[in-house]
Chains A and B, each alone.
Chain A
């Protein structure tokens, strides 16, 4: 069964450093998403991406964040200058379509620890 894969599973970085989280969505999916979950809190939407453009983003997704689909298979989330409060589990997801009556498939997550 096809699945969304994320690398690395755990990343530790120093405050102020740049990190790139990587995701390989399901191959025939066209819509891509990043979510995050700070320990003990809700899973929160960050951004959705379609046709090489951001289609929707949350208030959390400020100028420190960017997303890219550098080739035909990867989808990345970059945090330019990490802060302690960026420590969280980051989930990538993809879907074949969008709108009502569609479902997203999630990866296993990347745990980011900023020290």
Chain B
């Protein structure tokens, strides 16, 4: 069955540190890839998405992600985190023959000033 793995369950960083959250998926066909963020008490918000083309995609709030097809990975990065980035981050995959998103377990990021 298709699955999405997020290896970091809880990440704690100081402000200005660099961030990389891992995401791997198991599916050999064409996929759309997403990173969502959920700030405390708020809705799931799209950070960025990959459909096709340049494998390095830039999203909101200074986030970027790189799709590496050979590694089935779509890791999220930010060069310098801020306290306001404290949230839960979800990687998700959509297969082309279905409507549904398959989510990872999420990574809780805490950034301390």
Contact = CB atoms under 8 A, between A and B. Distances in A.
Interface in A46-80: 48, 55-56, 58
Nearest to A91: B44
Nearest to A104: B101
Nearest to B52: A101
Contacts of A102: 32
A33 interface: yes
B43 A45 contact: no
Chain A contact residues (Cβ within 8 angstroms of B): what range?
20 to 34
Contacts of A55: 99
A115 interface: no
Give the 3 A-B CB pairs with smallest separation, nearest first.
Answer: A106-B44, A108-B43, A45-B100
18 contacts: A33-B100, A35-B101, A42-B4, A42-B103, A42-B104, A42-B105, A43-B44, A43-B101, A45-B100, A48-B99, A55-B99, A93-B44, A99-B96, A101-B52, A105-B46, A106-B44, A106-B45, A108-B43
Interface of B: 4, 30, 32, 34, 36, 41-46, 49, 51-52, 90, 92, 94, 96, 98-106
